[in-house]
Amino acid sequence: MELHACMTPNTLKAMFMLGELDLSFELKRVRVYRGEHFAQGFETLHPYRKLPVLVDPQGPQGAPFTVFESGAILVYLAEKADRLLGEGAAGRSTVMQWLMLQMSSVGPSFGNASHFTAASGRDEHYSRRRFVTQAARLCALYDERLRGERYLAGDAFSIAD
């Protein structure tokens, strides 16, 4: 497998998953600060030209398959390995709920909090306040959840973790 990536939290998710499943991969470094993701042809890997992108030469029915977006990569790899998805419909739904919360809230809120804190310095701008507050709320939510459960989706480690 090939993982087209730069060192970001989303790339690390994909790398940790590949490691957790003991799947070998080749890291294809993409230097975003040099605009390499805007090079001719990269849109064939990701139409919006983001990272990470996984290329599996042994995808469904043995044909090469490309997966973009970190959450989709986690689900694809978990399904391929038949692991870390939760047991039964309720277990899988619980895993997906916590995974989707991370994808839709944790990642964007933390990223925006970091960006607007760096951009505004010590000044109290609305955007900085909003995202730092959201990040703190999410940390409190995760702390509360993990006080009552061993892992985010219950007793078993999953892609939500």
Give the pLDDT confidence of 27-73 residue by residue, as tens digits: 999 999 999 999 999 999 999 999 999 999 999 999 999 999 999 99
Strands 26-29 and 2-5: parallel
* Whether 28 contacts 40, CB under 8 Å: no
* Whether 117 contacts 128, CB under 8 Å: yes
pTM of the model: 0.93
Would you state the structure tokens that stand for residue 80, as one six-digit string?
Answer: 């391929």
> CA end-to-end span of the chain, whole Å?
23
